[in-house]
Amino acid sequence: MQPTSRFEATIPKQLHALISDLRSRMQMIDADILEEERRAGISDPNNLAYPMLAQNLRARRDNIRVSIAILESQLEKRSTEWPRAA
């Protein structure tokens, strides 16, 4: 099935942009986690003294990772539904 409108035709491009932005944010969060662990001197999330901020950042990063996986699967689904013209 081919896209029926210009809007639908831009969806894959928008998904790529969103995925790229989320990956960038995930890298920033990774850096923030490392900085917080360095500041606290604790890098083991199982340690009871592990910083709450780092725990929250890890949860946010994990949620973003799941969002990226969902968006990538939607993009893959769209690419198989809308084969490109030769």
Give the domain ranges of the chain. Answer: 12-80
Instruction: Specify the pLDDT at position 62.
Output: 98
Per-residue burial over 22-44, b if 16 or more Cβ lie within 10 Å, else e, is eeeebeebeeebeebbeeeeeee
More confidently predicted of 31 and 1: 31
Flag whether pLDDT at 18 surpasses 60: yes
Instruction: Specify the pLDDT at position 10.
Output: 80
Instruction: Specify the pLDDT at position 34.
Output: 98
Q: What is the pTM of this model?
A: 0.78
Q: What is the pLDDT of residues 19-66, one digit of tens each?
A: 999 999 999 999 999 999 999 999 999 999 999 999 999 999 999 999
